[in-house]
Structure 1
Amino acid sequence: MLGNERCYIVGAYEHPTRKAPDKSVAQLHAECAAGALADAGLTKNEVDGYFCVDDVPVLSMIDFLNLKVRHCDSTDIGGNSSLLQIAHAAQAIAAGKCNIALVTLAGRPRSEKVFVNPARPDMMWETPLRYELLDMYALGARRHMHEYGTTSEQLAWIKVAASHHAQHNPHALLRKVVTVEDVLASPMVSDPLHRLDCCVVSDGGGAVLVTRPEIAKSLKRPQVKVIGAGEAVQGQSAGAVELTASAARHSGAIAFKDAGVKPSDIQYASIYDSFTITVLIALEDLGFCEKGRGGHFVADGNLISGVGRLPFNTDGGGLCNNHPSRGGMTKVIEAVRQLRGEAHPAVQVKDCALALAHGVGGRMGTRHSGATLIFERE
């Protein structure tokens, strides 16, 4: 949860590249930082807080960017770390630890395929089974189908919605509009998930700047306030595994209470979309529909801007636009665009005043985290 003082997003930038064989991860971080600073009308000398995931050590990045900071954070809870760090930045600002916080994300998974094998207590038991991240999500999808009657056609509608939005994004990796039939005709990669149920793999990154109200109001940028934040973790509970529920039910409840709003108030949602099932379960657990009704909620274009009740991922999301190792940052950036009225006109939500961004980190089905942010336009 946030403190009494609500902070603002004053700068946001998404790196346009989707393949960067000639750039280092540190360089991508730096270019994202420069883009966000330019967007806000600030200089790096005004930044006194820095947050990044520890793919590149935070101390090395502070030195590389030549920052003079009073506070830093390299919290890593997976793909949604940027959302958590934005909440932590707001909390640090409220506590007086810094005034202007820079949060950056960058990755090169498309150019540099690296498997990191950290020392984890579960590795000795799980590695011999040779399970993949994709398989865990497929297991959740199959269980959801068994329990609630969800269909592959319903899951496909999530990809269809993303593709309708991506066609308007010149930087999206996949811009072709697809149909439900296209998704079902794509190769099965882990039953019941097809290739088009899976996110893209790209290089790139993004950055945002978070600051206190008086600084935000002195800048000539639209006012985007962070009004709610929630975080949660979910494990296997010593064997009581929940394949069709996620940490979103806890992080979302905290964020909605913090913001003083409810799911029906949200006009736009950025939802982490590593796989189509990731979106469906998150929508249920965040309260946008009843548990087990996600398939019905996403069907027939209900997530398409200008068509459905809840426009989502209007940049094309991870399913079509980009997924630079960790997809949380881009979810925030598109939410900021919507609230500023800067999304593509074809997907811009009219008079968008309340937006949500939610991310998942880790592996649903084993251990994962949920991070939820709620933003308001002033």
Structure 2
Amino acid sequence: MRDLRGRTVVAGVAESDLGVTGLGSLDLAAQAAARALADAGLTTRDVDGLFTAVAGRGMAPLDVGEYLGIRPRYTDGTMVGGSSFVSHLHHAALALDAGACDVALIVYGSALRSEFGKLPAGPPEVPNYEAAYQPRSPASGYALAAARHMHEYGTTREQLAEVAVAARQWAAMNPKAYKRDPITVDDVLGARMVSTPLGALDCCLVTDGGGAVVMVRAERAADLPKPPVYVLGAGEAHWHRTISAMPDLTVTAATESAARAYAMAGVKAADIDVVQLYDAFTINTVLFLEDLGFCAKGEGGAFVSGGRIAPGGSLPVNTNGGGLSYCHPGMYGIFTIIESVRQLRGESADRQVEGARLALAHGNGGQLSSQVTAVLGSAATL
């Protein structure tokens, strides 16, 4: 494993407009890219490494490069679902460290709500041996995992509901969040059922949105207009594509991706100050907190109860409101990086976690399939 600890930094981050924008996917990507580059004190003329994935665009790097007027000497179009951008963070660190590029732009845009308006009932890639059961994918796959966790460990719907309530409490402090009105556990339990045992408030938002991350080598940190955020460790893993091929519905490959990221960073879960998880569904947060080492397997339901991951709790999780309340344009992973960086810079205003030095950003792709973990740190962690 190549040791990347502290060798590259995140120099700029930004979102596009979020919610219902009326813009196209490439417009949103461009908007986010321009804002992130400005945050880094750079322009598209400086970018020579392009990392991007856009659902439905098989040659997304070509589309995005043309639209932005970038002619990169290093390109990565890795597409492993919503975890792609945390994977890009890892790949960009490798490329920068190897000298394959000098300024890496990771960028995403999706007009999911404006162009489609709702979560699709079943993607075309559902294999024929699952199609006969007419799954409402992706919700049905995550519902299977939730049901199995409930059966095996006694996890309750009320505990899952606490995840949604905590996310909304964080979102209430984020002016960019799409949903900010308060909800209760009873509201979550009483919401329309989507795929048993997951109701509408257990499921992520459907919004437009884009995000961008700019990275450079650490030697340029002194020239940056904003405090540098160091990439300390990263790890990737995947065990399956379809939910029916998942070896154990209660254990994800995050167990491996986290171990690799922690080993590179030289930290453990207990050292992390703030956690940003891919919460497409409430069960995700429970599973990932277990698999990333914040609690033992089967204890996730109890762990998220009592406000532990909400504002004022002992472990700040998804401090922007997450995919459940902040935004979810179909692929959420880049927003875990953006919020991690803002927390480590001290830029999160009312939701700022005091003294945050270490952040974990975790991406999930497919149906609990691709798992990518990154550990980011302030200069004080070097």
Scaled by the length of structure 2, the TM-score of the pair is 0.93
Cα distance in structure 2, aligned partners of 1:29 and 1:357: 21
Cα distance in structure 1, aligned partners of 2:354 and 2:110: 33
Q: Is residue 62 from structure 1 mapped to residue 65 from structure 2 by the alignment?
A: yes
CA 1:205–1:54 in structure 2 vs 1: closer, same or farther (change >3 Å)? closer
Q: 1:124 aligns with which of 112, 124, 128?
A: 128
Q: 1:81 aligns with which of 75, 84, 97?
A: 84
Task: Give the CA deviation at 1:212.
Answer: 0.2
- Name the structure 2 match of 1:299: 305
Cα distance in structure 2, aligned partners of 1:337 and 1:78: 24
CA 1:155–1:117 in structure 2 vs 1: closer, same or farther (change >3 Å)? closer
Q: Is residue 244 from structure 1 mapped to residue 250 from structure 2 by the alignment?
A: yes
Task: Give the CA deviation at 1:16.
Answer: 2.8
CA 1:219–1:283 in structure 2 vs 1: closer, same or farther (change >3 Å)? same
Q: 1:283 aligns with which of 274, 285, 289?
A: 289
Cα distance in structure 1, aligned partners of 2:298 and 2:72: 47
Give yes or no for contact 1:268–1:310 (8 Å, CA) kept in 2: yes
Q: How does 1:298-317 map to 2 (within 5 A)?
A: 298-305=304-311, 307-317=312-322
Q: How does 1:1-378 map to 2 (within 5 A)?
A: 2-4=2-4, 6-21=7-22, 23-55=23-55, 56=57, 57-113=60-116, 123-131=127-135, 132-235=137-240, 241-305=247-311, 307-345=312-350, 347-364=351-368, 368-378=369-379
Per-residue Cα deviation, 1:221-258 (whole angstroms, up to 9, x for no partner): 11200101000002279967311111111101110111
Task: Give the CA deviation at 1:2.
Answer: 5.0
Deviates more, 1:3-12 or 1:251-260: 3-12
Task: Give the CA deviation at 1:101.
Answer: 0.1
Task: Give the CA deviation at 1:344.
Answer: 2.4
After TM superposition, the runs of 4+ consecutive aligned structure 1 residues lying more than 4 A away are 114-118, 236-240
Give yes or no for contact 1:3–1:94 (8 Å, CA) kept in 2: no
CA 1:87–1:2 in structure 2 vs 1: closer, same or farther (change >3 Å)? farther
Task: Give the CA deviation at 1:25.
Answer: 1.1
Q: Percent identity?
A: 45
Deviates more, 1:63-72 or 1:260-269: 63-72
Cα distance in structure 2, aligned partners of 1:186 and 1:6: 47
CA-atom RMSD in angstroms: 1.8
Per-residue Cα deviation, 1:236-290 (whole angstroms, up to 9, x for no partner): 7996731111111110111011100000000000010000001100100000000
CA 1:107–1:150 in structure 2 vs 1: closer, same or farther (change >3 Å)? same
Per-residue Cα deviation, 1:110-163 (whole angstroms, up to 9, x for no partner): 111296966x6x623222322121011111111101111111111111111111
Amino acid in the other structure paired with 2:104: A
Task: Give the CA deviation at 1:218.
Answer: 1.3
Per-residue Cα deviation, 1:289-329 (whole angstroms, up to 9, x for no partner): 00000011100000013x21110111111000100110001
Task: Give the CA deviation at 1:42.
Answer: 0.8
Q: Which runs of 5+ in 1 are unaligned?
A: none
- Say which SS state the counterpart of residue 217 (structure 1) adopts: helix
Give yes or no for contact 2:39–2:225 (8 Å, CA) kept in 1: no
How many residues matched? 370
Task: Give the CA deviation at 1:68.
Answer: 2.8
- Say which SS state the counterpart of residue 113 (structure 2) adopts: coil
Per-residue Cα deviation, 1:334-367 (whole angstroms, up to 9, x for no partner): 111100000122x211110000000110013xxx
Cα distance in structure 2, aligned partners of 1:100 and 1:106: 20
Amino acid in the other structure paired with 2:18: T
Give yes or no for contact 1:8–1:224 (8 Å, CA) kept in 2: yes
Amino acid in the other structure paired with 1:134: A
Give yes or no for contact 2:237–2:253 (8 Å, CA) kept in 1: yes
Give yes or no for contact 2:112–2:208 (8 Å, CA) kept in 1: yes
Task: Give the CA deviation at 1:184.
Answer: 1.0
Task: Give the CA deviation at 1:64.
Answer: 1.6
Task: Give the CA deviation at 1:44.
Answer: 1.2
Cα distance in structure 1, aligned partners of 2:68 and 2:317: 34
Give yes or no for contact 1:2–1:87 (8 Å, CA) kept in 2: no
Amino acid in the other structure paired with 1:52: T
Task: Give the CA deviation at 1:67.
Answer: 1.2
- Say which SS state the counterpart of residue 85 (structure 2) adopts: helix
Give yes or no for contact 1:103–1:208 (8 Å, CA) kept in 2: yes
Task: Give the CA deviation at 1:52.
Answer: 0.4
- Say which SS state the counterpart of residue 228 (structure 1) adopts: strand
Give yes or no for contact 1:51–1:104 (8 Å, CA) kept in 2: yes
Task: Give the CA deviation at 1:54.
Answer: 4.4
Cα distance in structure 2, aligned partners of 1:130 and 1:108: 26
